[in-house]
Amino acid sequence: MLLSSNLLAEGQSRYISDNVFLYLLGGPGTEFRILGSIEAGQPVTLLNETQGDYSKIIDHKGREGWVQTNLISSTQSFREQVPALTTELAQAKAKLAGVLSSTDNHADEVTELKAKLSELETNLAKTTQERDELKVAVDRSAQDERFELWRQGGLIAGMGLILGIILVYLPRPQRRSKKRWM
């Protein structure tokens, strides 16, 4: 079982833990000579060999040696993460600045649209008032027209009555009798 996990890990990139400075040893133990040192966070390649608490690696300079297994991490070190995160942060800040600028433009547009809306509401109120006044004027005009028609009809009826009375009392010309020439 121990062997199968080592076979899967062979050739994979690993990293030296961030909080240490360690020596690359010539063998699996402190009794072997020191081949060099590896700074915390440096990438290393884990090889298929482990003995006790030590694993065989190839460091970032291409040197092959042994280090304590508990000092090897599968996650990237802060040394590798910080530049990527700094770049990502700069991009996020640029996007945020763009969004804030866009938001300011939208706020100006909203203010402008509110002013236009207020102006249009005022015009609507004015137009509605004018419509109501014209409706009242049209109703009054229709009533005046009906009154005028009734007045004219009354005058015509009165004149007809007077003319009828006058015609009744007017003397009629007498008819000549047909026997008169004879």
pLDDT per residue of the chain (182 residues) written in tens, 0 to 9:
444 455 455 667 776 655 556 778 888 888 888 888 888 778 888 888 888 889 899 988 888 999 888 888 887 777 777 788 899 899 999 988 888 877 777 888 888 999 999 999 999 999 999 999 999 999 999 999 999 999 999 999 999 999 989 888 887 777 766 666 55
Question: Which ranges in the chain belong to alpha helices (H)?
Answer: 2-9, 78-169
Please tell me whether residue 177 adopts helix, strand or coil conformation: coil
Chain centroid to CA 2: 55
Q: Which pTM value belongs to this model?
A: 0.41
> Bridge-partner residues for 16, per DSSP?
72
Residue 79's closest CA among 39, 45, 21?
39
Amino acid identity of residue 65, one-letter, is G
